[in-house]
Structure 1
Amino acid sequence: AREVVIPAPGSKQAANPDPLALPDKPYCPKTLYGKWYPFTRAAMYNLGIMEIKKDRIRFSKHGEFPFKIRKGPRNVPYLELFNLPPPRQNGYAELDGYVYISYIPVLWDSCAVRVSLCTSSRDIEARIENDVLPGGTKKIYYCDGATYTHNKNKF
């Protein structure tokens, strides 16, 4: 089991909590910051390796983009990307401007996250509501999604 470090009240760490901290899950890092590896060939082809730095996100197939962390329903964070490439000739965006990352329980002995890319904040907030709300019929929102894991040696 991993050791959980509770910051001392008034410490720098307590004053600046990690905005992308994840709920504690086995096999998962405490934060989304760092490198994430595609779980499927399609994600490798479309997006490549994902790396989240202090205020930038990098997809190896598209480049690096600054982001702002926004709060969605129930204070769930999502990212708004900036300086995206212009749409392709067919009118479709090369990369959508809103990113929501959530856990998915598909792997027994590794950590997996779902990266949802949506074109509008309304779509991404509907996607978050769908994930966060218990029970009910789950709707599928048309946001591109890809599965990532933090352990490249697993597969």
Structure 2
Amino acid sequence: MKLKKHFMNGRLDIARQKLIDELVTFSLAGEVKVVVVFDAMMSGLPTQKENFAGVDVIYSGESCADAWIEKEVVALREDGCPKVWVVTSDHVQQQAAHGAGAFVWSCKALVSEIKASKEEVERILQEQRSALYDNRVDDYLSNVSRKVEKC
């Protein structure tokens, strides 16, 4: 089942985990730092941060996720981070993030990038498998050739 179906069926934990899994793959394939922010303002809990395979997962407890993102974009830009990307399909949040100095992607654009990175990873793995197979065949043929030469 796709992430969106889990979300629409109220299975938020499963949807969150599927999103995190996709972002881990994207992060590793694209060699980028990924931070995902989930709105937890209504939970009454303080802001929490976890890390899954290099992806920072933030549950914004003290403020809404949008406010946390805006604050973090400003902090990253002030610290000299040259490129900060924010992914959201919320037009107001897109404008706020852009105004704070971030590049903005829609969720649809991120999905396209994730698909492209998965295809690239698969292509690289296929090349490595092929090279490994070619090396094994070459080794085998070399061994056979040596045995034939000895006869």
Q: What is the TM-score of this pair, normalised by structure 2?
A: 0.30
Larger Rg: 2
Q: What is the TM-score of this pair, normalised by structure 1?
A: 0.29
Q: Which structure has the highest helix share of the two?
A: 2
Structure number with higher relative contact order (C-alpha < 8 Å, ≥ 6 residues apart): 1
Q: Which structure has the highest strand share of the two?
A: 1
